[in-house]
Amino acid sequence: MDASKSPTTTSDKVKRKRLSRSTPRKPRGAYAQLARLLGPYVRHGSKTHRRKQFRRLVEAATASMARYRLNDIRQLGARHVLWWDEQLKNHGRTLKTREAYWYAWCILWTALERPTKPPRPR
């Protein structure tokens, strides 16, 4: 083996690893943000119902964040609730289903400590 082309040493690998850690992290997705914010909510009470509400909220928040290119869950507002309700209405969902999603939005509003409730389905 040629002396000028020595194999990579451990210190070279460590340097590369350190460089990769210093790169900025990607913003977390809606699921991770909601899981962190609503963890206590999901753990207490009727587990099945709360998990179902959490899944609804993840679905609605993920779609809204993708549609409006939002990075943080705190950026969701009334416009996004109304947009999601319109999507459900266009896909033929019943008022009862749309209200179930509204209750999920209410959970998010409570967790974000907002003073009012989200707009109701029309």
Average pLDDT of the segment spanning 55-77? 95
pLDDT in tens, 5-49: 556 566 665 555 555 555 555 557 889 999 999 999 999 888 899
pTM score of the predicted model: 0.75
The confidence score (pLDDT) of residue 122 equals: 80
Residue spans of the domains in the chain: they are 30-111
Alpha-carbon distance of 101 to 98, in angstroms, equals 5
Average pLDDT of the segment spanning 75-104? 96
Nearest by Cα to 105 from 91, 8, 83: 83
The confidence score (pLDDT) of residue 116 equals: 95
Alpha-carbon distance of 25 to 80, in angstroms, equals 26
φ, ψ of residue 22 in degrees (nearest 5): -80, -10
